[in-house]
Amino acid sequence: MDARIWALAGVVLVSAATFYLGYVSSRSASTTQDFLVARRTVRSRRNAAAVSGEYLSAASFLGVAGLVLKDGADALWYPVGFTAGYLALMLFVAAPLRRSGAYTLPDFCEARLGSRTLRNLAAAFVVFIGILYVVPQLQAAGLAFTSITTLPNWVGALLVTVIVIVNVFGGGMRAITVVQAFQYWLKLFAIAAPTFIMCVLFIGSGGPRGGEIAGLSEPLPPAFTENTTLHVETPVLLEVQDTVKLVAGGVVDGERVGGSAYWTPLGSPYEVDAGTELTFFQGSAVPVVVGAPPTNDLWLVPGGEPDDLFGTYSLMFALFLGTMGLPHVLVRFYTNPDGRAARRTTLHVLMLLGLFYLFPIMLGALSRLYVPELLVTGRTDAAVLELPMKIASGVWGEILGAITMAGAFAAFLSTSSGLVVSVSGVLSTDVLRGRVRDFRFATALAGGAPLALAIVLRPQDITMSVGMSFALAASTFCPVLMLGVWWRKLTWVGAAAGMVVGGGLVLTSLLLDTVSTFTGDWAPMIFGQPALITVPVAFLTVVLVSKATQNHLPGDVAQIRLRMHAPDGLGFIRDRAVARFGTPEERAGLSDGRHRK
Amino acid sequence: MSRHATGPGREPGRSGGGADDQTGRPRRKRVVLADSRAPVTVLRTVVELEEQTSYGEALVNQFVRTQWRTALVLGAVAMVPLLVLPLLFFAVPDLAEVALAGVRLPWLLIGIVPFPLLFGVAYWYNSVAERHERDFVAMVEK
């Protein structure tokens, strides 16, 4: 009970700090420029902290450790891919994208290719990707909140939505820049400090089984550290490597059971229904979800099947190229004063992310020893939250748990804020008339719709559904951005065709994959992570269709290229105006401070 | 109005006109009636770029190609080692059994090494790209 109070205090503190910072920085926000791009005056260091703060979502803070706990060495590609995406962003799009002077991703498409149709298509994809990304954040918030209070799932999601909407309502991009920069450092602290303390405790106690630090290299399944009773909340398929004695109450393999049972490798897999209660004894082997490496020595090395290799490459494709297509990341780059600052921002981001990701990896490995019971329920995303109380006992464990919980809430808040701002920016300028009032109305929409979806839809692995957004971004916006920046023969027809084909393929495979999980898992691996196929197909479509439609080449392509690539010092940069950019007084106020260095 | 403008601006009380109000006398200005050297040249080349003469367009195209090649080469420097790793561990599974200082090779090579590698390449690219930009500006203004 005490642990819950500590954790609740952590959440309240983070929420209050977020709210206060948003309020303070909202007071200077009055124009559409403030709301969309923070007047393009954010310096590179602060912007880098804000980009990182926004980017380290629930998938990074909770999901990476959870995946390392479940999949081991293969999951290491997630943090690497999340970071490497920024190198691709820096090399190929950061500076030219900022110099194009656009204020949203659809605006860039129109600036470069001069087509309203393409702009509307891009706007639709931005809204779709934004919602696809924000829903798992809200669901994770709901789950985390449920674990510290007795309130139902939707309360946490509602809490996050309300704080985000209030902040964005007050100051848009201007408000969330400071909030997100603060939240990066908060998250770094909230994961680094507990990791250090837990590592010291781990080494000090000589490992959980008394001096066996090498426990992770044995060809054995992980073992329960104490007698453990688990409630299965979503149906799971479990397999065991050794015979396991347990007490089960509920439905297993479609039959009602109650009392002692033996699970054997021959009888695997066992299908456990929701609502079943399983009790395991100290030292017995932990059954794992089908598909995850069952023993520690397999967990420690990359998967040896061709399917694993294929999945790894597909994941790398999605993450390396998807980051540059994420609308909420790109919108932060428009807040830089010039192209050079955009490039430097990315450089700082690479450092900040590299620093952060060391910790979830270590926590994931520690969880394999201390909280293996999460493998049974499949709730591996909770590893970061439950680990502290297992390693540190008493009030210290509770405080460490509260710190990680606060960090997790910072992750939900900062990522959701960024997504809501980017989606509202697009909605307010493309669907509505682009006034501050419209931005606020769009904010309510952009926050409310995902909240409804988060409550209705069934939660999945956070990182998995986020991985899907990356695949979608890599197959729609990445080809348009890369070719738009570097290839002069791109036409709007080609770009639109590529987006439709790439996006269509990803959505089809997502649909087929979902259908197949309900009808006996017939879909091959590729449907779960299709980027390896869809990204090259999208690129090819853009190139071929563009070559076939050279008569649609925009007339001012040479000028736009000059503007995107000419060094900032020559002064070719022209910030595009929103169609109806507020009142004349607002516009007059913009002329100073716009090119602050 | 440029940001270097002095004297009472449109908005009295802002930093631009502040000095005058405090001291009470007009700020000293250096008046140059004609400086025939550098600025005219800059203007000419910039105009040439802006107006897309064949010379200007060739300059821009060459510059874009240089930047593109830099990005590709440095991208390859960072990505090729990363892309080779899964294949390497797949082809030589024994490699994954090697431990350095108690940590298995895959965890070192995938979990730690890529981060400094990515930052190093990014740092390198940043300095190269900025150098190219400086060279370009110098060439335009020469």
Domain ranges in chain B are 36-141
Residues in chain A closer than 8 A to B1 (CB atoms):
591
Residue of A44, A87, A307, A308 best to disrupt the B interface, most CBs of B under 10 A: A87
Question: Which of A322, A291, A411, A296 shows the shortest CA–CA distance to A360?
Answer: A411
ipTM over 0.90: no
The residues in A 464-523 lying below 8 A from B, measured between CB atoms, are 486
Give B57's contacts in chain A (Cβ within 8 Å): 558
So where are chain A's domains? 2-203+322-458, 224-285
Contact in structure between A406 and A190 (CB atoms under 8 Å)? yes
Please give the Cα distance from A46 to A13 (Å, whole number). 22
Quickly count: other Cβ atoms within 10 Å of residue A226's Cβ. 11
Q: First vs last Cα of chain B: how many Å apart?
A: 27
On whether the CB atoms of residues B54 and B86 are closer than 8 A, the answer is: no
Q: A2-203+322-458: which CATH architecture?
A: Up-down Bundle (1.20)
Mutate to test the interface with B, among A366, A570, A587, A595 (most CBs of B within 10 A): A570
Please state, in angstroms and rounded to a whole number, the distance separating the CA atoms of residues A140 and A527.
24
How would you classify the pairing of strands A288-289 and B103-104?
A: unpaired
Closest CA to A257 of A275, A242, A243: A275
Q: Are strands B103-104 and A244-252 parallel, antiparallel or unpaired?
A: unpaired
Residues of B in contact with A340 (CB under 8 A): 130, 133
List CB contacts (< 8 A) between B75 and chain A: 87-88, 91-92
| B84 contact partners, CB below 8 Å, separation of at least 6 | none
CA A519 and chain centroid, separation: 28
Question: In 3-state terms, what secondary structure has residue A228?
Answer: strand
Q: What whole-number distance in Å separates Cα of residue A66 and Cα of residue A375?
A: 9
Residues on chain B touching A313 (C-beta within 8 angstroms):
83, 86
Q: Does A88 touch chain B (CB under 8 A)?
A: yes
- Cis before A269? omega within 30: yes
Chain A interface disruption, residue of B72, B103, B110, most A CBs within 10 A: B110
In chain B, the DSSP E strands lie at 99-100, 103-104
Q: How far is CA A95 from the centre of its chain?
A: 24
Tokens of A414: 């900062």
The CA distance from A301 to A238, in Å, is 21
Side-chain half-sphere exposure of A170, counting CA atoms within 13 A = 21
Q: Annotate A88-154 with three-state secondary structure.
A: HHHHHCHHHHHHCCCCCHHHHHHHHHCCHHHHHHHHHHHHHHHHHHHHHHHHHHHHHHHHHCCCCHH
Per-residue pLDDT of chain A (597 residues; tens, 9 = 90+): 577 788 888 888 988 988 888 888 888 777 777 777 777 778 888 899 999 999 998 888 888 898 898 888 888 999 999 999 999 999 999 999 998 888 888 999 988 998 889 999 999 999 988 888 888 888 888 888 887 777 787 888 898 899 888 888 888 888 888 889 999 999 999 999 999 988 888 877 765 554 444 456 666 777 777 777 777 777 777 877 777 888 877 777 777 777 777 787 777 778 777 778 788 887 777 887 777 777 777 787 777 777 778 888 998 999 999 999 898 888 888 888 888 999 999 999 999 999 999 999 999 888 888 888 888 877 788 888 888 888 887 888 888 888 998 999 899 989 998 899 889 988 888 888 777 788 888 888 888 898 888 888 766 666 667 778 899 999 999 999 999 999 989 999 999 999 999 999 998 988 888 777 777 667 677 777 888 999 999 999 999 999 999 988 888 888 888 888 888 877 777 777 664 444 444 444 444 444 333
Within 305-344 of A, beta carbons closer than 8 Å to B belong to: 306, 308-309, 312-313, 316, 320, 340, 343-344
The Cα of A273 is separated from the nearest Cα of chain B by a number of Å equal to 35
Q: Using a CB-CB distance cutoff of 8 angstroms, which residues of chain B are in contact with residue A486? A: 64, 68
